[in-house]
Amino acid sequence: MDGFKKRLRDSVQLRLSVTLSLAILIVAVLAGIFAFVSAFDEAHEMQDDTLRQVAVLFDRQQVSLPYPASQEVDGDNEESRVIVQYLADGSKAIGNDDPLIPLPFPTTLADGLSTLNVIDEDFRVLVRTTARGERIVVAQETGVRDKEARESAWRSLLPFLILFPVLLLAVGDLVRKLFRLIAALSADIDRRDEQALHPIDEHAPSSCVHPLKAILRLSTELPKRFGTPDRFRG
């Protein structure tokens, strides 16, 4: 650790690479959190829209709601289960498990969306009054909704998980190439004779050339200034 700190203190290239990497990491984490929360909320909104669509379909088709004794259906599971019943039938509930409807939803629920606990499980509930004046309940377990929303939110982070290491590699490669060019220009200057003060290669990037040109210009000006006798006369 001490060796890394010393290298970090002495190496401009390493300091620049670490600084850029930390900046990318912070931005990626913040963007990832925002994307996750946004995708999670959007998934919940889409699930609420599904409840509304089921309620509208029921109202439009004027479907009746019998409650058969045997309710086992192929493919029925918690992930796909959406409960539809008359709100008034909540007082007649005989089941204590969500596959057995009607469930004991409070008959005093107002129209609209709400979340409530029924038979020790949380449900997202939509109450709607149909054109015939009947009040229906469309509900889904919140545990299932949250699981699906989390899966959707995690999938939204895949681009960040792919982009982050690629971006780090690209920045690291860019920094190495930049300092390799600076090192090449410095080596070219070191190989020159003391009197060889011709301009640096103009094809090199200006960000690298300008500092070195300034050093060369200073090296030519100093002998002239300090070599003038008048500057040291009283």
Burial class (CB in 10 A: 0-12, 13-18, 19+), 139: buried
Give residue-wise pLDDT tens across range 125-172.
Answer: 999 998 888 899 999 999 889 999 999 999 988 888 888 888 888 888
How far lies 38's CA from each of 51, 85, 157, 159, in Å? 20, 32, 11, 15
Q: 149 vs 185, which has greater pLDDT?
A: 149
Assign 232 a pLDDT band (cuts: 50, 70, 90).
Answer: very low
Q: 214 vs 110, which has greater pLDDT?
A: 110
Give the pLDDT score at 128.
92
* Rounded distance between C-alpha atoms, residue 147 and residue 34, angstroms: 19
Q: Is the Cβ–Cβ distance between 109 and 115 less than 8 Å?
A: no
Q: Which helix (H) or strand (E) holds 109?
A: none
Ordered alpha helix ranges (H), 62-157? 142-156
Scan for tokens 């003038």, then name that residue.
228
Mean pLDDT value of segment 188-206? 59
Give residue-wise pLDDT tens across range 172-181.
Answer: 888 787 777 7
Give the pLDDT score at 88.
87
Give residue-wise pLDDT tens across range 29-85.
Answer: 898 999 999 999 999 999 999 999 999 998 888 777 776 655 566 656 666 678 888
Amino acid at position 86, single letter: Y
pLDDT exceeds cutoff 80 at 1: no
Give buried/exposed letters for 85-114 (b at 16+ CB in 10 A, else e).
bbbebbeebeeeebeebbbebeeebeeeee
Kindly write down the DSSP assignment for every residue of 34-56, as one continuous string: HHHHHHHHHHHHHHHHHHHHHHH
Burial class (CB in 10 A: 0-12, 13-18, 19+), 51: buried
Total-model pTM: 0.65
Give the pLDDT score at 204.
53
Give the pLDDT score at 7.
53
Give the pLDDT score at 113.
92
